[in-house]
Amino acid sequence: MKHDDATRQSMHPLKRLGWAIFFFLAGIGMLGYPLLSEKLYDRKISAEMKNYERKVSSENQSLIQAEWDEALAYNERLAGKRLSDAFIAGSGRELPADYAQQLDFPDDTMATIDIPKISVHLPVFHGTSEEVLQKAVGHMESTSLPVGGKGSHSVLTGHTGLAHAKLFTDLEALAEGDLFYVHVLGRTLAYEVDQLKVVEADDLAGIQADAEQDYCTLVTCTPYGINSHRLLVRGKRTDYRPEEKKKIQPLQTKTSAERLIQYAMFMTAGIMGLLIIIVAIAKKRYQDKSGQLKRGQNQ
């Protein structure tokens, strides 16, 4: 009987190791969730953008032109107005009553943005509420609508580091001379990056309109995980050349989910290694103690 008890106890460290392996595998399964979530997000967003493009292409062209002219007129009314920080709730001013009716299409999509270098293709929604920024790029309400034109400066904002979506996570990889594109009402506006800078959250000088220029600035929070500052990537309007866009080689960047999984796997592997060492030491000590007891009984 004593021998059976000793056998069960001597297996105890192995059972611990078995449980450790079980939890390790369960952890790996949980780590796969962000990747699956991001794939589902990409599929949903892709469907929304196709729906937007289909609606625009099938709409009466006179109505599309009227929508375009109305957006330009809206931008004229905004000229010289005070701006606010896109990521600070309540910091904005009162908007014209018809803001929500501008570029109003299915699924709240007002335009789409394409940044070939970092493989970003996303819808642009009205406003910068947290609900919007969790799923797409938001248009900063107090700036020009993204239809271009001399004296306009549209600001588009996106989150960095979300587990379920990449959004603007790789925005810092852009450099001067890179191109991005805004697709709106069946037209494509091309912008060439001419300035990148990091500013304080309340420093809005970099997104003010210039009466002689046509700008579009992409904004995200930085540094990653702290979000105390803003990264501004400004683009200056240039001619759209489809053949030039086709030549752009995308960077091999990781998705947010892949980054999270890689980090978590390193952490899990380290913890697993530590558990194995602890169990091995515990087993060795128990075997030494059991050996001493047996020798004492034999004496």
Q: Give the strand pairing for 153-157 and 137-139.
A: antiparallel
CB atoms within 10 A of CB 295: 9
Distance CA 71, CA 77 (A): 10
The phi-psi region of residue 80 (left if phi > 0; otherwise alpha if psi is between -120 and 50; otherwise beta) is left
Distance CA 112, CA 174 (A): 18
Q: Show which residues are catalytic.
A: 159, 221
Angle at 22 between CA 16 and CA 28, to 5 degrees: 140
Q: Is the dihedral of CA 87, 164, 102, 150 positive or negative?
A: positive
Q: Where are the alpha helices (DSSP H) in the chain?
A: 2-58, 61-78, 130-133, 242-246, 256-298
